[in-house]
Structure 1
């Protein structure tokens, strides 16, 4: 695209009316399916679900709606998302970003729910295991009436609502399934919005709106009412809640309004065309640049590796692992499989085979080799070498015999004796020292981005070693944060990173806090579970009542110092505070763990309120200059 065209595009866009910054990210209803997946289907369904979440975001950002299908057989996931047509694109992005986070409440990974739909007043998101795109009705359709009664002439109010709903059913189908308007007698106005989803058209839309209007007509004398159907959404209110000024004429008298709307639509169409051309040019160029960057990275690494002592031949590592025999497989993560191997010298090693079926494999390899090849700390797994010249990229680490903390608490080592207090304390202290070294003491400031139980391996004496640096990022000096695609594991990712894509060292602090609470309580963090109470909620309530030691893992049978346990849980709560600025640095955490620093009183963790375990969405940014949902369109997110 020429510079003159870009300049014209910038002038047009800058002249448009700014977003009202009212994304209406207010939850109307979350409806989770009763259908659950078998254990054998979980490995197929979860990645496909996450893939549809990735794909649906650019579609919604591009045109306000989208449908995605991913997978085959029992693992197929169907997903659709849509914003209300009166929202600006920025408000749509903000609303949909929160929608994506909250829909996870229907996806507890211990009991996989195969369907969920989330209605916000500004947007809608649904996923399921069958083709539902053209559905107008379902057995879980709802009518939600406001709690507050109208104060005034209720007979007149009901008549106003009925007139508005008649206008909805008359004008909505003629306007591509969308309606905004109001009825007024001078003293009383009732406002309404209705929208059929883009995949529901014709008689399906007509029938859906008629049903919605009929059911919501039972809400008066309530001041507000909503109909939440599979194929459409309808809302009335005594307060004007929709955004487009073109709808400010009374409903039913919209001739001039429709003409203005047609003019605006023509202008928006021209702008959209220019934006589309600009976007295509941008993504084509981005793809070319990315290919060059990957080639440059690997070319530079090849030169470094072949001239260094860390170079292994592919054949050597193939023989060491018994040609990657399944009996030598130690585990599998988001970036590759790990195998036990024995070199010709007799040294036991761990060999990771990087997956080539993801676009991020070059970044993983570059991170592991270039970022951490010179890092040496007793609580970090040492990289011994790599192979880059064979049919696949391999990484060689020191072998850590006792597997992971996750295996001891929840996995294959669970049948053995439970971890004792001193072992848990040693794990927490060592992990803290390893993360603090990455943040403050290494030659490069590094954010790990995936601190979790399965990435903390244990020596025979239970010395912890942090592993898997595939998602690590260098944190330049003088930067307050870096913006990056969303990556990590659900339940461990800091809220400001999930919602706004802002990455700082406090994201690792948050993940460490989750790890501390899980190790001390012996329970998983279920912050994204729809039916299970978050361990944050339990620990926070017990802390507030002065009984926090009741949260300690009962398998230790009281064999722990109560004051020390309470102190550890308080440190965990400090690390998972919703406000990132209030979280301590990892070096301060180490001093707290060693008794060299007092533990201050924590504030409330995210995702819950003080009265219930409900997931509480983040409030919208204060101004339009805040980041939007676009920052989390590319994701590398693993289930728990």
Structure 2
């Protein structure tokens, strides 16, 4: 069958791509070397899978738009072992501020001096030994340094970037001499110092001691991260200070990580008033002058108010951080309920799955038809659909990819999304529209029905397809509906309702975006209006195309059931 041949060819290409990436991705090699040298008693590295050759999808890793590693977050993780010299190969690393409060031993690798883009280096509260490498003084970009509370020995370098750092950066070691307080500069880039000329040495020394004492009382990692006017509200949103969110998450401890999406890690937090929140720490770097754009986008997102959309509670914006604060969803995501539930958790029953399908459709329809400018989600999947106390669907992460101007028919940007959910036209051209969301929604419906992942290489071992959509079509063609439905349902579902949901999923995942329904139409079909007519119309079109294909390819046989069959027809391969 031609579709099967095309699928095999695509997977061969993917396999070659994976082999190439595994062999050539130096950053993966470096991170795996780090993992093997650090203790992992708390499963910190459980997502660091060498088969997944994109480290940007690993927990505790942040990348830029070019998929280069810029940040590694492993603070307060009870890690032991030593830092590896290979870290010097992470040449795009900017924030290496996440190894403090561990039990690391051994020396600081001299190769860290090769990290010419490094801005933050925090290795405090460990048991590091040896001398401070003089190579670090050559990092002109270094803004924050904290090597305190270790077992370092020898002299403290006083040249280069180290001239900007105060004794508190090196406190509680076995070092010989603290660096002198630096002179201020006209550019204002120097840290605390004394005014050269005309100031008595004694007065300068007293001033430096007072400032050092003040710094010791004030956590160093907050110096450049406290936003101005933290009490300012943007519409109905509160502007949180970074200090509040750090306290809520125990300084973004890995223990509070709820998950990771395409835009950053999400942490569970408890605010001072006792309320639970989910804090999304956006991973993309801020650009100069981007504050107004960020505030505008946040304000537009906050205006999308619907019972099936995740409400934005507030935000935080600093020179180094952008964070969004949402209410905490006690039942997690659809993906976690389908595939990551504990033995004590009850599987999602069929009526709740139907409720989720309708709620998610209503939320997306609101984004497309009732927001101005309309909002295209661009990463609709089971992991993006959250569940409230009543297991009602709440669409999350909307608006983070791109706000679509109502005058545009599509948006062209770098492709974002999750493999298995990405519409073919978006993958090939980078053009997204509301119909790309419809495609992702259709795949999400199949996740709801099957409990399977949208992309799973393990299915190939069972003579199936890695892509859920192709796997489902194969089972439908072979009339194996019972194998398609999630076994966790234990047969407690209605055949007719399953078939109707499958029909909606197939209509939403048609190859041509023009032939897919709008989300408003999907809502109506799920509510019982128009599905039979739309399905019959699609069957007729497929039958005409089938006859045409059989004329050109007489040796190919296609399974198309008659209109009375309970099994939906297989969609013909290729674009139509």
Question: TM-score, normalized by length of structure 1?
Answer: 0.48
- Aligned-residue RMSD, C-alpha: 4.4
Aligned partner of 1:311 in structure 2 is: 239
Matches within 5 A, 1:108-127: none
1:354 maps to 2:282: yes
| Equivalent residue in structure 1 for 2:454, among 525, 537, 559 | 525
**Distance of aligned partners of 1:545 and 1:456 in 2 relative to their CA distance in 1, 3 Å threshold:** same
Cα shift readout 1:462-507 (whole Å, capped 9, x = no counterpart): 1111112364323333433222221111111100010112211100
CA–CA distance in 1 between the matches of 2:385 and 2:557? 32
Cα deviation 1:567-626 (Å, max 9, x = unaligned): 00110011111111110000000001010222433578xxxx98799x97879xxxxxxx
SS in 1 for 2:12: strand
3-state SS of paired residue (1:465): strand
Structure 2 matches for 1:120-519, cutoff 5 A?
306=232, 308=234, 309-356=237-284, 365=294, 369-389=298-318, 391-413=320-342, 416-469=345-398, 471-519=400-448
- Alpha-carbon shift at residue 324 of structure 1 (Å): 2.3
Q: Aligned partners of 1:49, 1:348: CA distance in 2, in Å?
A: 28
Asked if the contact 2:372–2:406 (Cα under 8 Å) also holds between the matched residues in 1, the reply is no
Contact 2:360 2:393 survives alignment (8 Å): yes
**Equivalent position to 1:30, from 12, 15, 20:** 12
3-state DSSP of counterpart to 2:517: coil
Partners in 2 of 1:28 and 1:488 — Cα distance? 19
Greater RCO (CA < 8 Å, at least 6 residues apart): 1
CA distance in structure 1 between the aligned counterparts of 2:238 and 2:574, rounded to whole angstroms: 47
Alignment of 1:4-43 (within 5 A): 30=12, 32=15, 41-42=48-49
Q: Alpha-carbon deviations, 1:355-405, whole Å to 9, x = none?
A: 256989969956861331111111111111111136422211111111111
Secondary structure of the corresponding residue to residue 377 of structure 1: coil
> Given the alignment of the two structures, is residue 563 of structure 1 paired with residue 496 of structure 2, yes or no?
yes
Deviation at 1:439, TM superposition (A): 0.4
Question: Whole-Å Cα distance in 2 between the matches of residues 438 and 358 of structure 1?
Answer: 26
Would you say the 8 A contact 1:367–1:469 is kept in 2?
no
**Please, what TM-score do these two structures have when normalized by structure 2?**
0.53
Q: In the aligned structure 1, how far is the partner of 2:260 from the partner of 2:241?
A: 22
In 2, the alpha carbon distance for the partners of 1:598 and 1:28 equals 32
Q: In the alignment, what sits opposite 1:554?
A: 487
Q: Deviations over 1:76-110 (max 9, x none)?
A: 99xxxxxxxxxxxxxxxxxxxxxxxxxxxxxxxxx
Q: Residue 189 of structure 2 corresponds to which residue in structure 1?
A: none
Aligned with residue 47 of structure 1, among 51, 54, 75: 54
For residues 314 and 424 of structure 2, the distance between their equivalents in structure 1, rounded to whole angstroms, comes to: 35
Change over 3 Å in CA distance of 1:367–1:581 after alignment to 2: farther
Structure 1 residues 577, 310: closer, same or farther in 2, change over 3 A? same
Determine if contact 1:549/1:565 at 8 Å carries over to the other structure: no
- How many corresponding residue pairs? 351
